[in-house]
Amino acid sequence: MSNKETATPQTATSSTNRSWGGRFSESTDAFVAAFTASIDFDQRLYKHDIQGSRAHARMLAKANILTAEELAAIIDGLDAIEAEIAAGQIDWRVELEDIHMNIEARLTDRIGIAGKKLHTGRSRNDQVATDIRLWLREQTDGISREIRRLQVALIDLAEREADTILPGFTHLQVAQPITFGHHMLAWFEMLQRDYERLQDCRQRINVLPLGAAALAGTTYPIEREYSAELLGFAYPARNSLDAVSDRDFAIEFNAAAALIMMHLSRFSEELIIWTSAAFDFVRLPDRFCTGSSIMPQKKNPDVPELVRGKSGRVYGNLLTLLTLMKGQPLAYNKDNQEDKEPLFDTVDTLYGSLRAFADMMPHVQPKAENMRKAAMQGFATATDLADYLVNKGLPFRDAHEVVGNAVALGISSGRDLSAMSLAELQQFSDVIDDDVFAVLTLEGSVAARNHTGGTAPQQVLHQVANARALISN
């Protein structure tokens, strides 16, 4: 329902006789007609509505419910209407409520009596469920492609920066040195789960409601398997009541979308921190940023900030859909008409956010010098010194204390552990030898974490190859 319509209440009654008008003794109030109509937003489904109608007509002809001539007229008519709509030449009529009745009425205008037969053995209830599934299946594939594009960008960046060192954080405090490539592959992993979730959800989207009719099925000898085959659905829904009322697939999709947006929001947050003057770890291309109208020095990371902000609407849409369904008795209820706007918004937001990230990431430039300097500042190799002492026979808890004392000296004298002399270090433990300096370097620290899932440059390159293989299936 658009604001435009709700903002202008009308008292006149609608004069048009609608397709279901037979049992009514007065026309619908004009405001009620506008209030209950969905054509303002469900026109977006026109291609999928026509696609579903073509398949339904073919099935009816195969089952000898329509003649070959009627089928030909319907197919020609639908083709012409699709072209008309694509060219913006159709006048959507609010009194015809929705996309389904608008197209059907237009078909009957064009081809006469055959057009009136298209709806045989079908209801708008199974029709709309079919349309949304066709549409969402297509969107799922498009969104999956954007995820892949972003994953490729991350893999490329990981490979290029396999041995670039930055501080890794816990509690946003410098923890241990890591490689930039390793960090990019952490993002890759999140997206891989997102991709898999969407593929899993797609299996439950890909089921055919047509044939359920209003709720109980139909008396005509329909062939639902044939409709499913024509539309590329895996199989016809097994229960007609469930088929017309189920919106789990939309909720599931939105839940997967919420997780993706949560991930993108976390990536955004890191990019925002990394581009701040205090960190200055990476450079975002100018074309993904904007300036300030008052502060000439500013370059704001608008794209990540907007993506972080947009995650909220996708979470909101998820709650909208869950709430929409929770009180509904079987089978179809008009409430279901409210499923479309949140779902459309989720798809648009998700697609736009992924696209922005996939376009931007190949051009993100890490500033290796700054990241290195930051890693030098936070005693990032303290754990390495502890591990060194354990290797020389100290229990880990004692080693922890020795290193704590060394760090205290570092803080008071303003130096990193690697900048201390051997004699200085030896005053904390006599097992320390001049081989200690190899483990106190940033390079030594990351290279030592050379096992599956570790941050060593060698592992990063190994995982880059694994990631490439994973996404090529």
Catalytic residues: 171, 292
Residue type, position 142, single letter: G
Contact predicate 350/260, CB 8 Å = yes
Of 77-85, 123-131, 225-233, 295-303: span binding ligand ARG (CB under 6 A): 123-131
DSSP state of 418: G
Please report whether residue 124 would count as binding ligand ARG according to CB under 6 A. yes
Q: For residues 127-166, which are near ligand ARG according to CB under 6 A?
A: 128
At 366 the three-state DSSP class reads strand
Non-local (6+) Cβ contacts of 45 within 8 A are: 99, 131, 132, 135, 340
- 125 interacts with ligand ARG by CB under 6 A: yes
Question: Which tokens sit at 245?
Answer: 């009322």
CB of 34 to ligand ARG, least distance (A): 14
> In 11-98, where does DSSP find H-type helix?
30-36, 39-42, 46-62, 68-86
Q: Considering the complex, state which of residue 127 and residue 265 has its C-beta at the smaller distance from ligand ARG.
A: 127
429 interacts with ligand ARG by CB under 6 A? no
Segment contacting ligand ARG by CB under 6 A, of 103-111, 120-128, 192-200, 205-213? 120-128
Closest separation in Å from C-beta 212 to ligand ARG: 12
Q: Between 124 and 449, whose beta carbon lies closer to ligand ARG?
A: 124
Neighbours of 421 (CB within 10 A): 7
Q: Return d(Cα 195, Cα 350) in angstroms, integer.
A: 13
In angstroms, the CA 58 to CA 225 distance is: 12
The nearer residue to ligand ARG, 133 or 263, going by C-beta atoms, is: 133
Q: Distance between CA 403 and CA 425 in Å, rounded?
A: 9
Q: Which pair of tokens denotes residue 221?
A: 């000898």
* Residue 249 near residue 346 (C-beta atoms within 8 A): no
Measured from the CB atom, the residue of 28 and 381 that comes closer to ligand ARG is: 28
Count of chain residues binding ligand ARG (CB under 6 A): 10
CA gap 80, 89 in Å, rounded: 11
CA geometry: angle at 164 spanning 160 and 170, to 5°?
125
Considering only residues 337 to 376 of the shown chain, the ones binding ligand ARG according to CB under 6 A are 337
Min CB(97)–ligand ARG separation in Å: 6
- Tally of CA atoms within 13 A in the half-sphere of 24 that contains its CB: 12
Closer to ligand ARG by CB, 216 or 465: give it: 216
Closest CB to ligand ARG among residues 321, 402? 321
Q: How far is the CB of 235 from ligand ARG (least distance, A)?
A: 23
Diameter over CA atoms, the chain: 102
User: Binding to ligand ARG by residue 126, rule CB under 6 A?
Assistant: no
Q: CB 135 → ligand ARG: shortest distance, Å?
A: 12
Whole-angstrom distance, CA of residue 17 vs CA of residue 24: 9
Question: What is the sign, positive or negative, of the torsion defined by CA atoms of 62, 64, 67, 73?
Answer: negative
Q: What is the DSSP string of 96-124?
A: G-SHHHHHHHHHHHHHTHHHHHTTTT--H
Residue 38 near ligand ARG by CB under 6 A:
yes
| Segment interacting with ligand ARG, rule: CB under 6 A, options 121-129, 299-307, 395-403, 421-429 | 121-129
Each residue 51-90 as x (binds ligand ARG by CB under 6 A) or -, in order, gives ----------------------------------------
Continuous segment of H or E residues that includes residue 460: helix 457-471
Least distance CB 59 / ligand ARG (angstroms): 20
Q: Which is nearer to ligand ARG, 233 or 332 (CB)?
A: 332
Binding mask 176-215 for ligand ARG (x = CB under 6 A): ----------------------------------------
> For the CA atoms of 57, 62, 68, 74, what is the dihedral angle to 10 degrees?
0
Positive or negative CA dihedral for 250, 137, 187, 289? negative
> By C-beta, is 4 or 334 nearer to ligand ARG?
334
Residue type, 179: T
Q: By three-state DSSP, how is residue 402 classified?
A: helix
Least distance to ligand ARG, CB of residue 125, Å: 5
* Tokens, residue 15: 């004069």
Least distance CB 210 / ligand ARG (angstroms) = 13
* Given 98, 194, 384, 416, the residue binding ligand ARG (CB under 6 A): 98
Give the residue with the Cβ less far from ligand ARG, 108 or 127: 127
| Contact positions with ligand ARG (CB under 6 A) in 324-343 | 332, 334, 336-337
Q: How far is the CB of 227 from ligand ARG (least distance, A)?
A: 18
The window from 122-130, 290-298, 357-365, 428-436 that contacts ligand ARG (CB under 6 A) reads: 122-130
* H or E stretch at 170: strand 165-170
Sites of contact with ligand ARG (CB under 6 A): 38, 42, 98, 124-125, 128, 332, 334, 336-337
